[in-house]
């Protein structure tokens, strides 16, 4: 039995998995407070983890019908993420592992998003590509072996895809987190109403979303407040289509350049129906986990921990958080 803990951003998450990777429980305590500020406030996120994490761990154990004494290892997200938030998870995991006398495993958050693909309910093993599109990262990993040692085929040169959704939603006055709200708004709109840029000048499998965000800003400004509000669904649908088209084009290029045809899809943006449909319609052999394993969760951290080693005793005690991606860049 593995207890997994994830606190890299604003969700306090715990999960219990068997050593063969079956998920017995996965609990996500979301911090709704951040929508008041239009984004995640790091200090508030850390303080809420302090309050939420232990009850979330208790619920994960209860839902799995086990007690602390049944645990055989603890897995925890080490980074990248908000350091104050990560430290709450790390301290909790270290305390539990030391108190119970069981091993600790440190997991990279992006490795978690890749490993979530194994929870899709279909047989999957390397080699495969994985499009990770979240609020903090957007990259295409070429996974040739189990574990976090993938090569990066393409990565964003500015914003992440989830960030593009969030910023677009803010420009359209939709609130936070923007992805699901913009997706909902887009359902009533025409994706061809506005012609937003698809980063044509960016070669290969790299992404760029900063120009897209700026063109939405200009479109809204040019329309004026009343028209922009009246045409909000069209703006949302066209903006979403530009993001999805770019994801589809880069994944297609990555498949062509690597010859790897199976593509897993992880991170919060993988919860987006239009992105799933777009990739499938382009003929991509897509593997996508259920939505609850696309957005941040601890089950993916537990699943990833099957591919990393136990930390030696001393290293477990001195384990520190890291804030920036070690593998996402080049």
Question: Which residues contact ligand KG4 (rule: CB under 6 A)?
Answer: 9, 134-136, 162-163, 165-166, 177-180, 183, 267-269, 271-272, 295-296
Least distance in angstroms from the C-beta of 182 to ligand KG4: 7
Q: How far is the CB of 71 from ligand KG4 (least distance, A)?
A: 25
Our CB check for ligand KG4 shows the closer of 71 and 118 to be 118
**Pick from 12, 77, 78, 134: which binds Zn ion (CB under 5 A)?**
134
> CB under 5 to 8 A by kind: which of ligand KG4, Zn ion, none does 114 bind?
none
Instruction: Select 40 or 97, whichever has its Cβ closest to ligand KG4.
Output: 40
* DSSP bridge partners of 140: 131, 154
Angle between the N-to-C axes of helices 178-186 and 232-258, in degrees from 0 to 180, rounded to the nearest 10: 110
162 binds, among ligand KG4, Zn ion, none (CB under 5 to 8 A by kind): ligand KG4
Question: Both tokens of residue 140?
Answer: 């295409």
* Run of H or E including 52: helix 42-63
Q: Please, which residues have CB within 8 angstroms of residue 215's CB and are 6 or more apart in sequence?
A: 196, 197
Q: CB-wise, 189 or 266, nearer to Zn ion? A: 266
Per-residue x/- track, 278-317, Zn ion (CB under 5 A)? ------------------x---------------------
Q: Is 208 in the site for Zn ion (CB under 5 A)?
A: no
- Quote the tokens at residue 283: 């003929």
Residue with tokens 């693909």: 117
**DSSP H or E run through 165:** helix 161-171
The secondary element (H helix, E strand) that includes residue 114 is helix 109-115
**Spatial contact of 57 and 25, defined as CB atoms under 8 Å apart:** no
> Shortest approach of ligand KG4 to residue 41 CB, angstroms?
15
Q: Between residues 103 and 293, which has the closer beta carbon with respect to ligand KG4?
A: 293
Q: What tokens were used for 22?
A: 């079956």
Neighbours of 254 (CB within 10 A): 21
User: Which stretches of the chain bind Zn ion, using CB under 5 A?
Assistant: 134, 296
């Amino acid at each position: 039995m593995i207890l997994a803990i994830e606190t890299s951003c604003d969700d306090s998450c715990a999960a219990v998995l068997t050593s063969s990777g079956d998920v017995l429980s996965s609990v996500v305590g979301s911090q709704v407070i951040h929508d008041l500020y239009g984004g995640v406030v790091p200090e508030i996120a850390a303080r809420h983890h302090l309050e939420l994490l232990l009850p979330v761990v208790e619920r994960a154990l209860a839902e799995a019908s086990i007690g602390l004494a049944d645990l055989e290892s603890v897995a925890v997200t080490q980074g990248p993420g908000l350091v104050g938030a990560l430290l709450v998870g790390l301290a909790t995991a270290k305390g539990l592992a030391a108190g119970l006398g069981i091993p600790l495993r440190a997991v990279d958050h992006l490795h978690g998003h890749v490993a979530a693909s194994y929870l899709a309910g279909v047989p999957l093993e390397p080699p495969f590509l994985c499009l990770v599109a979240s609020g903090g990262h957007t990259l295409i990993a070429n996974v040739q072996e189990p574990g976090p040692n993938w090569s990066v085929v393409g990565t964003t040169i500015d914003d992440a895809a989830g960030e593009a959704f969030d910023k677009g939603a803010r420009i359209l006055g939709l609130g936070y987190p923007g992805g699901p709200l913009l997706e909902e708004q887009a359902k009533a709109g025409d994706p061809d109403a506005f012609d937003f840029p698809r980063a044509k000048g960016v070669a290969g499998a790299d992404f760029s979303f900063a120009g897209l965000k700026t063109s939405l800003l200009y479109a809204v400004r040019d329309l004026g407040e009343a028209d922009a509000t009246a045409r909000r669904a069209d703006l949302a649908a066209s903006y979403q289509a530009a993001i999805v088209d770019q994801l589809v084009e880069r994944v297609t290029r990555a498949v062509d350049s690597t010859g790897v045809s199976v593509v897993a899809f992880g991170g919060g943006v993988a919860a987006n129906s239009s992105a799933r449909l777009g990739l499938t319609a382009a003929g991509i052999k897509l593997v996508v986990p259920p939505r609850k394993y696309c957005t941040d969760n601890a089950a993916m951290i537990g699943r990833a921990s099957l591919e990393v080693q136990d930390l030696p005793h001393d290293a477990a005690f001195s384990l520190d958080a890291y804030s920036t991606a070690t593998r996402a860049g080049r």
